[in-house]
Structure formats: structure tokens, C-alpha cells
Amino acid sequence: MTCQVKSLLEEIGISELTNEQVETLCSIAEKAARNYVLSKVPSRRVPVLNIAVDIEGPKPVTVDVEVEIALSASMKNYDVQTLAGEATKQAFEAVKAFLGEVACKSSR
């Protein structure tokens, strides 16, 4: 089973991100989605877990997260679509938290 979920984060008006902030943002989003999936399903049951994070625009920043999951045959009754959707939500929550911190720091 493979499922791809693609969502677009609402535009967030903050100052332009540095290259370092963009790298950090990608890493945070990917880690949040991966940690969520692996907290729900043992890693040995997840032969495919691809997470792509794409960031566009200096202001407003648009973030796109895509989660692709394939589970082993023994997990055939598991709702992969919901798992991918929840992992994407976790990634966006992490993104929002990070961008909130960046916005706070830049307004000082």
C-alpha cells in the first residue's frame, strides 16, 4: 500500500528566511512527520517512508509537505491514508511553531 498526502500551509507573513532557517525548517518538518509515523508503526513494518518538504517564497512563505508510506503486508488493515494525513499535520504543527519563533525573533 502506498499513500501520498500533499498539503499547503497557509501563507505566513514573516521576514525572509535565511538559508539556514530554510534548512532547519525542512529538517524540523521531516523529523516531526517521521517521528509520528514511527510512533504509530514499528519501523520494521514500514518499508517505504518518504517525506518531502518544499519551501517557496520569501514572504509569504509557502510550505508543502508530502508523505509517502508503504506498510508491510502484515499491516494490511492499517489505515495508511489517515497515518500519512496525521504525519503531515504533525509536520505542519512543527513548521508553525518554528515560524512563530522566527516571527517573534524578527519583530524584536
The per-residue pLDDT for range 48-89, each reduced to its tens digit, is: 999 999 887 766 677 889 999 999 999 989 999 999 999 999
| Between residues 40 and 105, the one the model is more confident about | 40
- Which residue ranges form the domains of the chain, and what is each CATH number? 2-103 (3.30.300.100)
Task: List pLDDT tens digits, range 2-57.
Answer: 333 444 344 555 667 788 988 999 999 999 999 999 999 999 999 999 999 988 77
Residue 1 C-beta-side C-alpha neighbours within 13 Å: 17
So what's the pLDDT on residue 14? 60
Angle between helices 80-106 and 19-40 (to 10 degrees): 150
So what's the pLDDT on residue 50? 96
Please tell me whether residue 108 adopts helix, strand or coil conformation.
coil
Q: Residue 72: which region, alpha, beta or left (left: phi > 0; alpha: psi -120 to 50)?
A: beta
Cell of 72: 508491510
So what's the pLDDT on residue 106? 62
Please say whether the beta carbons of 100 and 15 come within 8 A: no
